[in-house]
Amino acid sequence: MEFTTEQLRSVAQLARLELSESDVELYSRNLTDIMGMVEQLSAADTEGVTPMAHPLDMTQRLRPDAVTESNQRETFQALAPDTEDGHYGVPRVIE
Amino acid sequence: MSLHQKSVAELSAGLAAGEFSSRELTQYFLDRIGTHDGALNSFVTLTAEQALAQADVADTTRKAGDAGPLTGIPVAQKDIFCTQGVRTTCGSRMLENFIAPYTATVVRNMEQAGCVMLGKTNMDEFAMGSSNETSYYGAVKNPWGVEQNLVPGGSSGGSAAAVAGGLAPAATGTDTGGSIRQPAAISNLTGLKPTYGRCSRYGMIAFASSLDQAGPLAKSAEDCALMLGAMAGFDTADSTSVDAPVPDYTATLSEPMKGRKLGLPKEFLSDAVDPETREATDNALATYRNMGAEIVEISLPNMHLSVPTYYVVAPAEASSNLARYDGVRYGHRAEGVENLEDLYKRSRGEGFGAEVQRRIMVGTYVLSAGYYDAYYLKAQQVRRLISDDFVKAFEQVDAIIGPTTTGPAFAIGELVDDPVQMYLNDIFTIAANLAGLPALSMPAGFSGGKPVGVQLIGKVFDEAGILNAAHQFQQVTDFHRAMPEGFK
C-alpha cells in the first residue's frame, strides 16, 4: 500500500505531532515500507484464534481498595515547566 | 589479570578476600570511564560522587560481616531506569532535564544487594532502535570496532559498550524485541531477557508494556545469574509482576548437559544468516553434542511473522504509552506556543526524534478507527500462533538454540535510512518477547573478526535452565573471555 502524505498528516494530527514538510514526505515513504512489511500478516490464517493480550495469559491482579499513595504534589510539580498555586500552567483554553 | 578483565564473580571473590576495597574498585572503573569513554560515548550521566559514597557503605557492610555476593560491585544502569535525584533521559530530548522523583524497583533491588551505580548508560531513544543511533545524546561505538565505526547494537547499546570495553563489570538493559540480546551478541557479551513478569517494570520507562523486560548484560552466564538474582522479584507496584520466588540461579549452573534436549528451529538457519555466524552456531551445536546433549530439529512455522506482528503490537503500545509526554507535567515544552494544541504538537514534534515519531505514527494508525481489526486484532491473533509454536516445541525439547542475529555488527549510518532493514536485525529475537519467554545470547565466535552470538530460549520461568546451559558452554569455550584491542 501507498501511505499518502494526506494520510500521514492525518495520523500526525491524531498523534499530536508537529512535522515539517520534509518530514511529512520522508515519513510517508517510511510508513509505506513499514506497512508493506506488516501486510504479510494478512496471509496468516487466524480463523477462530483467540487474540493474545498478555504474554503469559494472566489476568490483572486485584489489590485491597486501600490508600497506599501519599500526596507528593510539590515533588511532582517541581518537574513541571510551568506551575502556579499548585496548578499546572497551560495556554488559555477558554476565551 | 587487571580488574576490568575480571568477571563479577571474580571481583566478588577479590572483595571477599580483601584484595581490594569497593572504593578502590569503584575508583578504578571511574578512571577507566575517564580514559576510554571519550571514544565510546557509552555513558549519558556519570554519578561518580554517589558511586564512591555507595562504595564506602559497601565497605562498611563488608567489615560488619554482612556482605552478599554483589556487595560493592560497580554496575552501570541503562538510562531507562528512573533513579531518584539523578537525571533520567531515556535517550530522548523529551527528558533532557528530567530528574526522576523516584527509583525503579530493579535499581532499588540492586542497591539493596549492595551494587554501586557508576552512572547511566546511553541507549536508543525510548529503547526504539537496534544500533543506538537514535539516541539524542549521540551514537555509541562498539569497542570491537571503534575505527570502523561499528555500532554496539541497541537499544541497550551504551550498557553493551561499557561492559565490552571494561568500563563496568556488568550493566542492566531492557529487551522489548531483542534490545539486550542483539547488543550482547555483537559486543561479545552474555545478556539475558527474563520471562515477562520476572523483573518489575516499575520505574522502567515504558515502551511496549506487554513486551518490555529488564535483564543483565555481563561477561558470563555466571555473572548474569548473580545479577538476575538481585534484579528479579515480585513487586506490588507493577501489576504484571509475577508473585513467584526467585531461585538461586547460581545453584544450578553446574548441572551436566548430558541427556538435555536442545531444539534447533529450521527457520533459524535461513539464507539470511551469514556463513561465519552459521559456522559459529554449528560449532556451538557440536560443543553441546560433545557434552552429551541431544540436538533435535524442530519447526516454529509462524516465526517469519514475528517481525510484522511486533511492528503492529509494539508501536501500538508505544503510541499509547508516549501520549503522556504533553509538555505540561514534565519533559520538554516548546516555547512561544499559541494555544494548547500547539503546545502539545510542538513539544512532541521537538522533543521526540525521528524513529520515535515514526513508531508513534505507526501505532496511532493501526489503532485508529476502521483499522483496529485489520491490524491490531490480527497481530494479537498471530502472536497467539507464534506462542503456540513454542508451546508445541517445548513438548519435545528443554530449550531452543540458534543464532542471535543474522550477522555481526554493522557500521554507524549503514542502515539508518532504511527502517525496515534495521527492524530485521531482531528477526531471531522478537519471537521470545511476543511469547514472554526467557532468552539469552552468549558469545559463540567471530565473523570477519567481529563477535557473534548464539541464543538460547527457555521455557517460561526457566531462566535457571538456559543460564546453566550457557555456563556449561562457557566451561569448555573461551569466546566470552575475549576482549577488544585497545580495551584489554
Return the biggest CA–CA distance within chain A. Answer: 58
pLDDT, tens digit (0-9, with 9 covering 90-100), for B331-350? 999 999 999 999 999 999 99
Q: At residue B293, does pLDDT exceed 80? A: yes
> What topology is assigned to A5-42 in CATH?
Histone, subunit A (1.10.20)
Instruction: Report ipTM (2 d.p.).
Output: 0.96
CB contact under 8 A, B98 and A79: yes
> Where does the pLDDT of residue B1 fall: very low under 50, low under 70, confident under 90, or very high at 90 and above?
confident
Domain ranges of chain A: 5-42
- pLDDT of A4 > 90? The answer is yes
C-alpha cell at B93: 530530548
pLDDT at A57 over 80: no
Tell me the mean pLDDT in the region B93-104: 97
Residue B371's pLDDT band, with cuts at 50, 70 and 90, is very high
- B209 burial via Cβ count (<10 Å: 0-12, 13-18, 19+): middle
Q: Is the C-alpha dihedral spanning B189, B190, B195, B197 positive or negative? A: negative
Give the pLDDT mean for B439-463. Answer: 98
- CA–CA distance, B317 with A39 (Å, rounded to integer): 19
Which of A 32-51 lie inside 8 A of B, CB atoms?
Answer: 33-42, 44, 46, 49-51
* Percentage of chain B lying above the pLDDT 70 cut: 100
pLDDT of A58 reads 80
Rounded CA-CA distance B345/B202 in Å is: 28
B179 included as an active-site residue? yes
Residue B158 in this model has a pLDDT that exceeds 90 = yes
Report pLDDT digits (tens) over A9-33. Answer: 999 999 999 999 999 999 999 999 9
Amino acid identity of B123? M
C-alpha–C-alpha distance, residues B196 and B214, integer Å: 9
Closest CA to B317 of B240, B211, B435, B238: B211
Residues of A in contact with B330 (CB under 8 A): 76, 79-81
In the prediction, which pLDDT does A1 show? 78
Q: Which of B7, B42, B78, B156 does the annotation list as catalytic?
A: B78
**Nearest one of B54, B33, B28, B196 to B113, comparing CA atoms:** B54
CB pairs under 8 A between A and B: 168
**pLDDT per residue over A44-56, tens digit each?**
999 999 999 888 8
On whether the CB atoms of residues B263 and B397 are closer than 8 A, the answer is yes
Higher pLDDT: A93 or B68? It is B68
Please give the share of chain B, as a percent, with pLDDT higher than 90: 98
pLDDT value for A71: 93
Mean pLDDT of chain B: 97
Q: Could you report the per-residue pLDDT of B373-421, keeping only the tens digit for each?
A: 999 999 999 999 999 999 999 999 999 999 999 999 999 999 988 999 9
pLDDT the model gives residue B270: 87
Q: What is the per-residue pLDDT for A95?
A: 74
Q: How confident is the model at residue B153 (pLDDT cuts 50, 70, 90)?
A: very high
Is B200 annotated in the active site?
A: no
pLDDT for the residue B162? 98
Band (pLDDT 50/70/90 cuts) for residue A61 is confident
B130 is known as an active-site residue: no
> What integer pLDDT is reported at residue B440 of this predicted model?
98
- Domains of chain B are 1-488 (3.90.1300.10)
What's the confidence (pLDDT) of residue A93? 85
Peptide bond into B368 cis (omega under 30): no
| CA–CA distance, B323 with B413 (Å, rounded to integer) | 29
**Among residues B12, B42, B92, B155, which one is catalytic?**
B155
How far A73 CA sits from the closest chain B CA (Å)? 11
pLDDT at A59: 80
pLDDT of residue B451: 98
- Mean pLDDT of all residues in B461-475: 98
